[in-house]
């Protein structure tokens, strides 16, 4: 499937290239997960102001992958998150997202020309099996 020649070519980041390669079966998921855990992403948050200390929740959206499920949307490109209407955005490593994510949420990773989803089972697998520093 060729794109129109008038569309400018886009340089993919190392993580974006890897996400395409894992979808095409060219690399193992373990290599993808290792890169994901150390890549920084933008994620929409809702600030909560408690008198003791300010906190936040990740903004969640209906999943397009799984019926009756919810996801957080993340991107290396902040404009994707802003275009979804987010006003408060956190820039955080994938591993920190996994550590702090509610166990019933998926992750949707978006970038120009594509994206990849991480199911609840994969998120929970990483939560349980990765040694976080």
Pairing of strands 70-75, 105-111: parallel
Q: Which residues contact 37 (CB under 8 A, 6 or more apart)?
A: 93, 94, 95, 98, 126, 130
Q: Given this model, what pLDDT does residue 7 score?
A: 47
When pLDDT is cut at 50, 70 and 90, the band that residue 110 belongs to is very high
What percent of the chain clears pLDDT 90, i.e. is strictly above it? 62
The number of beta carbons lying within 10 Å of the beta carbon of residue 105 is 20
Residues 116-125: what's their mean pLDDT?
92
More confident residue, 64 or 90: 90
pLDDT tens-digit map of 10-49: 688 999 999 999 999 999 999 999 999 999 999 999 988 8
Distance CA 48, CA 44 (A): 13
Alpha-helix runs per DSSP H in 8-119: 14-23, 29-38, 78-83, 94-100
Q: Is the pTM of this model over 0.75?
A: yes
């Amino acid at each position: 499937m060729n794109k129109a020649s008038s569309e400018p070519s886009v340089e993919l980041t190392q993580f974006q290239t890897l996400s395409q390669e894992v979808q095409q079966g060219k690399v193992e998921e373990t290599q993808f997960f290792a890169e994901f855990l150390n890549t920084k992403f933008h994620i929409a948050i809702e600030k909560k102001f408690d008198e003791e200390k300010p906190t936040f929740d990740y903004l969640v959206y209906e999943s397009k992958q799984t019926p009756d499920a919810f996801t957080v949307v993340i991107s290396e490109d902040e404009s994707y998150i802003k275009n979804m209407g987010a006003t408060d955005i956190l820039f955080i490593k994938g591993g920190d997202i996994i550590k702090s994510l509610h166990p019933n949420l998926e992750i949707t990773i978006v970038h120009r020309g594509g994206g990849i989803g991480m199911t609840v089972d994969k998120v929970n697998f990483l939560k349980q099996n990765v040694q976080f520093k």
